[in-house]
Amino acid sequence: MKKPPSQEPEEQLTVTPPKTWAAGVPAVTHALEYSLDETSVRRTGVTLLSINQVGGIDCPGCAWADPSPGHRHLNEYCENGAKHINDEATTRRITADFFRRYPVSELSRRSDLWLNQQGRLTEPMIKRPNSDHYEPISWHDAIGLLADELKALDSADEAVFYTSGRVSNEAAFVLQLFARAFGTNNLPDCSNLCHESSGFALHETLGTGKGTVSLEDIHHADLIFLVGQNPGTNHPRQLSALEQAKLNGARIIAVNTLPEAGLLRFKNPQKARGVIGRGVQIADLFLHIRSGGDLALFQGVNRLLLEAEDARPGTVLDQDFIRANTSGFEEFDQHARTIAWDDILTATGLTREEIENVRDEVLRSERVIVCWAMGVTQQRHGVPTIREIVNFLLLRGNLGKAGAGVCPVRGHSNVQGDRTMGVWEQMPDSFLDALRDEFGFEPPRAHGLDAVNSIKAMREGRIKVFLGVAGNFVRAAPDSEITEDAMRQCGITAHISTKLNRSHTVCGRTALILPTLGRTEVDVQATGKQFVTVENSMSEVHSSHGRLEPASKVLLSEVAILCRLADRTLDGRTAIPWGEFEADYGTIRDRISHVVPGLQHFNRRVARPGGIRLPNPVNEGVYPTPVGKALFTCNAWEMPQVPEGHLLLQTLRSHDQWNTIPYTENDRYRGIHGSRQVVLVSPQDVSRFGLSQGQRVDLVSVWNGTERRAKDFEVVPYPTTPGCAAAYYPETNVLLPLDSVAESSNQPTAKSIVVRLEPRTGDAV
Ligand SMILES: Nc1nc2c(c(=O)[nH]1)N[C@H]1C(S)=C(S)[C@@H](COP(=O)(O)OP(=O)(O)OC[C@H]3O[C@@H](n4cnc5c(=O)[nH]c(N)nc54)[C@H](O)[C@@H]3O)O[C@H]1N2
Ligand SMILES: Nc1nc2c(c(=O)[nH]1)N[C@H]1C(S)=C(S)[C@@H](COP(=O)(O)OP(=O)(O)OC[C@H]3O[C@@H](n4cnc5c(=O)[nH]c(N)nc54)[C@H](O)[C@@H]3O)O[C@H]1N2
Ligand code: SF4
Ligand SMILES: [Mo]
């Protein structure tokens, strides 16, 4: 067993020029270095070779899709996939001794990196009221205690069940079934913080919340937009798909506030030309946009397309498509022509010529795909921006045909599947009716609490029980200090987790750690070895089979913990066969077949190599909106108000982290090493504010007369758009006000925080 470090790392910041290409050999070497540091050679080999293979382990990293079964490489994973797998497969262990040694008060001051480095959790632990230590507890007592707390509530709505997209379909289905049979829709999830804006906008305009494209579509598109996403770091195998598209003649337009390495050039480590050659240029056009300017950009492009149609009627817009499949074109057309060019140019920071170049690329392309991620969704105008992207695609009939469509690029490996399984605080009545018919109980109909509203309810003392599954709520949520206070108001906080994180150290009066199997591990139940299923960003549902020996013999699977908890809490109040579900996950899938449209005969169909592709009605030419057509919309925006002397800060991921968990202090592609306490500022702003490289500053966010502070960051001059700054999440979540949310979706605006930089000497800039 490897020994974890006992001290926090003490490195110095060094800065080198940002990289201009992604992946290639250094990426592979780097992944192996990380693997071998964390695990043994044998465990590394076993896990890596089975990642993303038919009958193997689904990568627990991002939700990017796998090539079809006949087209997979022997190494069908990226550098970061290898890191995520090995972070779970580590041979380091946390035992009861660890918790005897470290009081919770000390653990709560440790860094996220250090907590994660301590290794896998191995046995259930409890922190009792008035104690500062976790101590061991049996599974029977731990689950019984949580069940008793739930049963003692005055209302089921005093409980909250948070989950991340790391859990399987089976665990997600069981979780939501339990919550609803118990009587609440309080099912906040990481999607509330991630692609909620996409779901809202797509539902409203297309009648379905999911992306419409497949990998094949990406390969055969003529033009692909990458808007507000960093594929080199966050979806590295997307670069292989983009490479393929380029070899087939596609053009790519990247829109970002940062010139990310993966947007510029890709060296594919699986191909000789990627190892020794210059690789493939990714973006043909790079638009260095101002933060939040994407809505204005697409409005500008749309207006130019309408004017091009005026000049050459019948040649630009797909009039037949618009007539047959859409509604609201006339209003949209009128509105689009009223938007002032000056406003578009100010909001985007681009020149008119750059936007005209986009129009020209579009006019040359029959099949267009727009991909986007957090740069778009985590904005005040995230929902209208995506609606405008839909307007853009509808104008030329770029939906419901091969090589075209919408591609919200999902984060967690099963975040889309969790929603399909009913993990959402606002599931429609059709789903709740199906649950009722299948299981014979009446699910609650009132919408539950999402992530932001859960924090508000906890703060007000309205939540007594918090159960977190597979995430790190305290660090993922905005306004860290407020969120931590809110958690401490709960009577009991419990977490089903694989590794130690900050949420375990910010406790209710009582706290439970319920350690669980990871996706890489063999899961044996009463009827034998089990597998689970997940759904990727392209609506493909397939199986994942754990291969490794569990980190401890004591671990239970997520499904087992949830089924036992449900059984003990509901005391036979429903006829749901929790024991059968735990013994044989196939019986859960049978019931999913009856509840979730598109998954009929789930067990039989998922056994096929490649699994099941869920139908998307848009690809059948069906738009299940209230009017039965895709909707054009008129979208208004206001410029974010950034007072003089302030910047718009985005909080983002480094190359070496998985969400709330940094793996190291480095961000290789951006040339930052040895520290995450950095703020990236454009050279223009560095000189405008009289700052210098390496200067220490506090970041102070201002919001409705209140201030929040993140202390002691070093300034790094970086080619971000002037007026915009960037710093890492979760260290800067303390700056993100709980009330600063996207319109309609209530998603925190993690890419748009108004800040000023205050030199540590105390003089404000
Ligand atoms: N290695 C690794 N992979 C991951 C994750 C991880 O933490 N580590 N997390 C997973 C998860 S859950 C998710 S949701 C995804 C996230 O994937 P991304 O969305 O790629 O992640 P972020 O780091 O948040 O980066 C957002 C990008 O948007 C850009 N941006 C910011 N503001 C704007 C803007 O106003 N306009 C435009 N056009 N661009 C802007 C930023 O410069 C950055 O390139 O990644 C998934 N994959
Ligand atoms: N400021 C800011 N905040 C953000 C974002 C941002 O860009 N900026 N991004 C948001 C986004 S997109 C997301 S998705 C959220 C992510 O938020 P979460 O999904 O809540 O956070 P993670 O960091 O993925 O959770 C890590 C923990 O999951 C547990 N875990 C890992 N694997 C397993 C498993 O197999 N089973 C179980 N039971 N537990 C497991 C481990 O204990 C680990 O410590 O953060 C959001 N918050
Ligand atoms: S691209 Fe995403 S799913 Fe694929 S191997 Fe990398 S992290 Fe895993
Ligand atoms: Mo996410």
Of 74-83, 317-326, 567-576, 711-720, the one with minimum mean pLDDT is 74-83
381 touches 291 (CB < 8 A): no
Q: How far is the CA of 469 from the centre of ligand 2 (A)?
A: 10
Backbone conformation region of residue 295, classed left if phi is above 0, alpha if psi is from -120 to 50, else beta: alpha
Q: How far is the CA of 762 from the centre of ligand 2 (A)?
A: 35
Q: What per-residue string of b and e applies to 243-258 under the rule 16 or more CB within 10 Å gives b?
A: bbbbeeebbbbbbbbb
**pLDDT score of 119 more than 90:** yes
Q: Which amino acid is it at 91? A: T
Strand ranges (DSSP E) for 265-307?
265-267, 280-281, 285-288
Q: Which domains can be identified in the chain, with CATH numbers?
A: 23-88 (no CATH), 93-194+414-516+557-583 (3.40.50.740), 197-408 (3.40.228.10), 647-759 (2.40.40.20)
The C-alpha atoms of residue 752 and residue 736 are separated, in whole angstroms, by: 9
Q: Ligand 3: which of 64, 519, 538 to mutate, judged by most atoms within 8 Å of the beta carbon?
A: 64
Q: What pLDDT is stored for residue 280 in this prediction?
A: 86
Residue whose CA is at the smallest distance from ligand 2 atom 3: 476
Of 18-32, 209-223, 275-289, the one with minimum mean pLDDT is 18-32
* DSSP conformation class of 409: -
Q: How far is the CA of 241 from the centre of ligand 4 (A)?
A: 21
**pLDDT score of 1 more than 70:** no
Residue whose CA is at the smallest distance from ligand 3 atom 1: 237
Q: How far is the CA of 409 from the centre of ligand 1 (A)?
A: 10
Q: What pLDDT is stored for residue 28 in this prediction?
A: 63
Q: How far is the CA of 82 from the centre of ligand 3 (A)?
A: 8
Atom of ligand 3 nearest to the CA of 60: 8
Q: How far is the CA of 64 from the centre of ligand 3 (A)?
A: 6
Please count the other Cβ atoms lying within 10 Å of the Cβ belonging to residue 625: 15
Instruction: Output the CA torsion sign for 109, 112, 114, 118.
Output: positive
Residue whose CA is at the smallest distance from ligand 1 atom 1: 234
Distance of CA 555 to the CA centre of its chain: 26
Return phi, psi of residue 540, to 5°: -95, 125
Q: How far is the CA of 497 from the centre of ligand 4 (A)?
A: 18
* DSSP conformation class of 615: P
Backbone conformation region of residue 68, classed left if phi is above 0, alpha if psi is from -120 to 50, else beta: beta
Please count the other Cβ atoms lying within 10 Å of the Cβ belonging to residue 327: 17
Q: How far is the CA of 37 from the centre of ligand 4 (A)?
A: 27
Q: Ligand 2: which of 84, 118, 164 to mutate, judged by most atoms within 8 Å of the beta carbon?
A: 164
Residue where the block lists tokens 């890492």: 728
Mean pLDDT of 256-276: 80
pLDDT band at 67 (very low <50, low <70, confident <90, very high): confident
Dihedral angle at the C-alpha atoms of 168, 173, 174, 179, nearest 10 degrees? 130
Q: Ligand 1: which of 282, 407, 652, 682 to mutate, judged by most atoms within 8 Å of the beta carbon?
A: 652
Q: What pLDDT is stored for residue 56 in this prediction?
A: 87
Atom of ligand 2 nearest to the CA of 558: 38
Mean pLDDT of 735-756: 98
Instruction: Output the CA torsion sign for 184, 189, 192, 196.
Output: negative
User: What is the SS3 assignment for 403?
Assistant: coil
In short, whether 519's Cβ falls inside 6 Å of ligand 3 is no
**Peptide bond connecting 759 to the previous residue in cis, omega within 30 degrees of 0:** no
Atom of ligand 2 nearest to the CA of 652: 7
Of 60-74, 137-151, 568-582, 748-762, the one with minimum mean pLDDT is 60-74
**pLDDT score of 691 more than 90:** yes
In short, whether 412's Cβ falls inside 6 Å of ligand 3 is no
Cα diameter, the chain: 77
- Burial level of 139, CB count in 10 A (0-12/13-18/19+)? middle
The C-alpha atoms of residue 88 and residue 105 are separated, in whole angstroms, by: 26
Pairing of strands 265-267, 523-525: unpaired
Residue whose CA is at the smallest distance from ligand 1 atom 31: 375
Q: What pLDDT is stored for residue 765 in this prediction?
A: 43
| pLDDT, tens digit (0-9, with 9 covering 90-100), for 596-630 | 999 999 999 999 988 999 999 999 999 999 999 99
Atom of ligand 3 nearest to the CA of 237: 1
pLDDT band at 735 (very low <50, low <70, confident <90, very high): very high
**pLDDT score of 39 more than 50:** yes
| pLDDT, tens digit (0-9, with 9 covering 90-100), for 200-258 | 999 999 999 999 999 999 999 999 999 999 999 999 999 999 999 999 999 999 999 99
**pLDDT score of 763 more than 50:** no
Share of residues in the chain with pLDDT > 70 (%): 95
What is the end-to-end Cα distance of the chain in Å, rounded?
50
The C-alpha atoms of residue 531 and residue 170 are separated, in whole angstroms, by: 9
Query: What is the chain's mean pLDDT, rounded?
Result: 94
Minimum-distance ligand to the CA of 474? 2
pLDDT band at 274 (very low <50, low <70, confident <90, very high): low
Q: How far is the CA of 655 from the centre of ligand 4 (A)?
A: 15
| pLDDT, tens digit (0-9, with 9 covering 90-100), for 308-318 | 999 999 999 99
Q: What pLDDT is stored for residue 7 in this prediction?
A: 77
pLDDT band at 267 (very low <50, low <70, confident <90, very high): confident
pLDDT band at 345 (very low <50, low <70, confident <90, very high): very high
Residue where the block lists tokens 């003692």: 152
Of 104-108, 265-269, 616-620, 705-709, the one with minimum mean pLDDT is 265-269
| pLDDT, tens digit (0-9, with 9 covering 90-100), for 83-101 | 999 899 999 999 999 999 9
Q: Nearest-CA neighbor of 394 among 444, 324, 446?
A: 324
514 is written with which tokens?
Answer: 């319920």
Q: What pLDDT is stored for residue 30 in this prediction?
A: 64
Q: What pLDDT is stored for residue 615 in this prediction?
A: 93
In short, whether 200's Cβ falls inside 6 Å of ligand 3 is no
Q: What pLDDT is stored for residue 460 in this prediction?
A: 97
Q: What pLDDT is stored for residue 78 in this prediction?
A: 86
Minimum-distance ligand to the CA of 471? 2
Q: Which residues lie below 8 Å from residue 177, measured CB to CB, with a gap of 6+?
A: 422, 435, 439, 566, 576
Atom of ligand 3 nearest to the CA of 77: 5
Q: What pLDDT is stored for residue 31 in this prediction?
A: 65
Atom of ligand 2 nearest to the CA of 88: 32
> Does this model's pTM top 0.95?
yes
Distance of CA 723 to the CA centre of its chain: 26
Q: Which residues lie below 8 Å from residue 626, measured CB to CB, with a gap of 6+?
A: none
Q: What pLDDT is stored for residue 597 in this prediction?
A: 94
Residue where the block lists tokens 């509105």: 335
**pLDDT score of 712 more than 70:** yes
Q: How far is the CA of 352 from the centre of ligand 2 (A)?
A: 40
In short, whether 31's Cβ falls inside 6 Å of ligand 3 is no
Minimum-distance ligand to the CA of 87? 2
Atom of ligand 1 nearest to the CA of 410: 14
pLDDT band at 682 (very low <50, low <70, confident <90, very high): very high
Q: What pLDDT is stored for residue 43 in this prediction?
A: 67
Mean pLDDT of 637-660: 93
Q: Ligand 3: which of 237, 414, 656 to mutate, judged by most atoms within 8 Å of the beta carbon?
A: 237
